[in-house]
Every structure is written in structure tokens, then in C-alpha cells.
Structure 1
Amino acid sequence: MKTLTSGLLCAVLGLALLGSADAKAQPKTYSLRFNHVLGPKEPFHEGFLKWAKAVEARTNGGLKIDIFHSSQLGKEEDIIEQIRQGANLGQNTDSARMGNYVPGIAVMNGPYFVETLEEVAKLRKAPTVIKWQEELASKHGLKVVSFNWVQGYRHFFTNKPVKTPDDLKGLRIRTPPAPIWQESIRALGATPVAMAFGDMYPGLQQRAIDGVELVYNNIPGGRFYEVLKFANETKHIMLINFEVVSAKWFDSLPKEYQVALVEEADRAGEATSKEIFRLEGEVEQQLKGRGMTIVEDVDLAAFRKAGEKAYEALNILDAKKAVHKEIGK
């Protein structure tokens, strides 16, 4: 009996040691569920898929990113709050929404704040912008992985031609629910109406809104050419997007995974941004073929002047001036 008992004990210990060795041999894996509001045919979606593939390859499968389009995981604002609590979620968002936590950073989505990809690149080294990102992470749990994703210029899409700020008077224009968006549209002459991205088409059909302000690449995917006639090239905002994850989750990653996540996001963002600007001309021609009129003779000087009122209304004009000085604009 003693011999049998000893044999069983040795067997159990052997299995335990084997299991322990297997556990050590298997490195810990990490996952991220990444949400965005855009459709599957948008250039950003393809860019996010490439980012995920590059990160998984670089970490040998140790970090896997699953991409969810069309707000499949939920509303942007709800996802951001879950991220703040430490969930392994990511969200494509913007500095306007980040401005709800660190007010100054909202300037990056203000009227005519930056107007070229080169200026966006300079923002990455601007001390004020770096400080804002650190505050987002340390105080609000939001880690900005990259803001190297530029969705293009936002224009007004309406059912009447718009050439000056006066032409927007009385028009209800959909905007995302963030102060800088609201004040920007108000400063440029229209009445802002906060509305979710997915509600815009029915909102136009039901005449709850008179127009939208979007980038060209949003129009075909949303079939907005069916309910809008004019694309007015105001270029009032160069739309910088932020890829945000939980600071707590990010800090839990091995250092090499953190580097891979950030570097591959920047790399994919730069490539996607260039592709978007390349595609804009093609989209313009598509929209003309769909019956839309492109209004090019817009008084940009008048719109730039009007846009300054948004910074003043939110008391972030000094923040704008500080960053402009740092990037030499």
C-alpha cells in the first residue's frame, strides 16, 4: 500500500510539474477589441485591419486586435467610458471628444487649426500636445496610441450652395456631441445639431437637419448623395483622428508590445492618410456622376476669420496660439 501511495504521489507531482512547465512555456497573450463608427468600405477600416495584422505578426500572435466597424461594440462615448475603467477596448475618436477631459486638446479639431499632413506630423513633437496626452493618461485613463490618422478635410454638404458663412445662416447642420464641434459650426454660421453618425441619413430624410459636415470619403459609404445636392469645399477642419485605449491596459502590456502597438499604428495611420487624400479626387468624380454639384469657389478667408470665434467662445485661443508657435505655423 505504501508503495502504491508513493507511486500515485509521484505521478501527481510529476503532472503538476509538467503543467507548471507548460504554463511557463506558454507566454501570456493579450487582446484588444477596437471599435469605430465608419462603414466597412471606408479607407480607415482597411487601415485598421492592416494595423491589426502588423501588430499580430510583430508580436508573434502575442497581441491580437479585433476590428469592429459601424459602432458594432456600441456608441463612441460609451466605449470611451469603458476604456477609462480599464477595459481591453480601443476606439477611433478625435481631440474634440478628448477635450471633454482635457479642454485644451480640443483645439486640434478646431477650424483651420492645421491644414497639411506636414503640420499634423509636427504636432507629435509639440510640448503642449505631449503634455495634454500625458494628462489624458494619468488623470483620465485614456492612452492615445496614435493621432497619425487624418481623415481628410471636412466640408459642408447641403441642399443649397454655400460660399460664405452668411450662406449657412438658418441651416441646421449635424455635428458630433462635443463643444469644439458645436462652437465651430456655430462660429461658421450654421446652427449645430448633435446627432450620432448612424442617425444622419434618416435625419436628412425626415428634415431634422438641413445638412452635414463630413469628409468626402464618408459620402459614398453613407449614400448621402441620395439626400444632398451640394458639396461645398470649405475645408473648415482637417480631421485628425485619435486611436485610444485604456492607459491601465496599455501599461499591463510587455514593453515590446507597447512599442509595436504604437509604431504600427503610426505607420498604418500615415499610409491610410495618404491614401485618403489620393482617393478624394476619385470620390469627387463619383459624386458628380451621382448628380451632386461641387462648389469650389468658396470664400476661405471669410470662413477662416469666422472660425476664430469658436476658439474664443471656448477660451482656448491661447492654447491654439501656443501650439502654433511650437510647430511654426
Structure 2
Amino acid sequence: SRTQKLDDYIAADFSKQKSTYLEGVHKDILQRASAFLILKDSKASFTIEGESPKSKRAVRWGLTIGQAGKNPLTKEELLRLQQLVIENSRFVKMGFRKQGGFIGEHDRTTGEPIPNHISARWQDAEQLIDGLIEGCELLLATDIDPVLSAAKVAFGFVFIHPFADGNGRIHRYLIHHILARKGFSQQGIIFPVSASILDHINDYRKVLESYSQPLLDFIEWKATKDNNIEVLNETMDYYRYFDATRQAEFLYGCVSDTINNIIPEEVKYLEQYDEFKRFLDDEFEMPDNMVALMVRFLEQNNGKLSKRRRENEFAALTDDEVVDIGSKFQEVFEDSVM
């Protein structure tokens, strides 16, 4: 439904704000910030799911995020995305579910399911996804607001929960997909909305629960022998038609945070890093790998080089040079990395 908050967000024209801001950023800085923030977004999407992926896995998913919007949304594309998300499928039944699904816990004594969210009946999942894809194409063909469109499609997908695993990350990928296809964000250019979602994880859970919790009262189910859930009544319309107001407000808040905070902070950091690097290069002709080490060590130790580092990696520096470097670091970075 239409709310004052959504009207204010739409009137702010964040897409134009972002484009205007990025036009003033040096191309090299923008490319590096894009690479870092896409990786940050990838890691955040795994962290939201309670996973800590290996760097290679996060990089691979980051590359996928960077290509969001390139391919049209189809069932085959969703299956491809699941294959990219699930690195080891030995213990996961891939593809569209052929059994019930829920999110929640199991009773420690009996093992019976305690659902917080009950997924769409597996018999309805593919038909619902067909409808979601058709709805997505209709949204893309109109001038309906990009963020509202992304909220409807992405949250619609995660509420259906068509797969046994990988739904959450694909749900957040779909946000990137819609924003890119709508021209809100450029393909391959930084828009780390998952990083903002992670920063507001409690609000994210509340937004998901605002749909899932009331729905539990309308679903009849029983536990299966393997402690899964079998839905006993017709529930398709609950997933086909839902009020996405709270989800849209939340997503717009994350978009605003991304544009006003996350992207500018990363760009600022890279500009500061380059200034500090120029100082080290001019004064000490320090190679890039040593500059990166220096910055990391100074960040870890509140702007001071520890005795251990001074005696090992940076033994060639005099005490006065170490003091000068620390002072310059404090001057350039101020409090941004402390």
C-alpha cells in the first residue's frame, strides 16, 4: 500500500543522486571500489545465512552479482544461480523442491519441526515461480519504481522458497537483477545492498517475520516421518498475493543507506589510501605490497606500528621514520579506519 515513507523515498530520486555522485569519482577509484564492494556484498549475503565462505567461493558469487541483470529471469536461470550458490551439492537436493519446506527449529527431544516460516507447497512452487517470472517481466516493461519492483519480486521469491537451499542469496541477487534491468544501477557497478541488509539484520528479520508469522495461523500442516512439514490445505494464493509495503520500505531504507553511506565511505577510504600510498612512495619508494602491509598493520594497532612489525617486516625503517609514518597515517585517515 502507498505510505508517506514510500512517497518520500520515491521523491528523493536515489538513482539520480547516485549517478550524480559517481560522476565526480575518478574512474580508477570507482573501478576499485566496485570490485571491493561487490565482494563485500557477496560475503555479506553469505554472512546473513550464517555462513563464512572461503574467499574463492565469495569471489565467485561476487562475480555473479556483478553480472546481475545480464540474463533474463527464467526458471533455468534460477537453477543456474542455485548451482553457483551451492558449491557442494552432495547433501542438498538441487532444483525445485519435491518435498515440504520450512524455516525454523526442531524440538530437541522429539525432533518435530517448530516453524517460523512455512514455504509454499512443493506442488505449487513451480507454478508460483512461473507467475513470479511473468510478474517480473510486466514490472520491467512498465515505469513502476525500480525499488518497489525489486521488493515485490525478491521477497516474493524468498517467501515461496522454491529450493531446498540457496533461496536467501538468490533472493538478494534478484534485488540486484531488478535494479540493473530497470537501469537504477549499472551492471558491474557498485551497489552493495546486502552489506546494508547485514548492517540492519534485526530489521531484516522483522520484515521477513511480518509476513511469515501471521501466515502460520492460516496454514494447516503435519510433521512428516523425517520431521519435515506437509501442508494440508490450499495455500497458493498466500504466496501469489501479498502486501509488500513493509518489505519495500525496508529495501528503500537499505538503498538510501547504500547511496548515502556505504558507497561514499568506501570511495573516501580509497582516496585516503591513495594519498597515504603516495607519501610512502615519495618518501621511501615503498612497493605496493609493503604499502598494503603497512596500512593493515596500522589499522590493526590504532595507527601505530607494533614493536614486532618494526623488528621484522619494517626493520629497515628508523625510529624517526616510523614516527613520521604514524603521524601521516593519523593525518590522512583521521578517525575513519580506527
Q: TM-score range, shorter-chain basis? A: under 0.3
Which of the two has greater helix per residue? 2
Which structure has more relative contact order (CA 8 Å, sep 6+)? It is: 1
TM-score normalized by the length of structure 2 = 0.26
Which of the two has greater strand per residue? 1
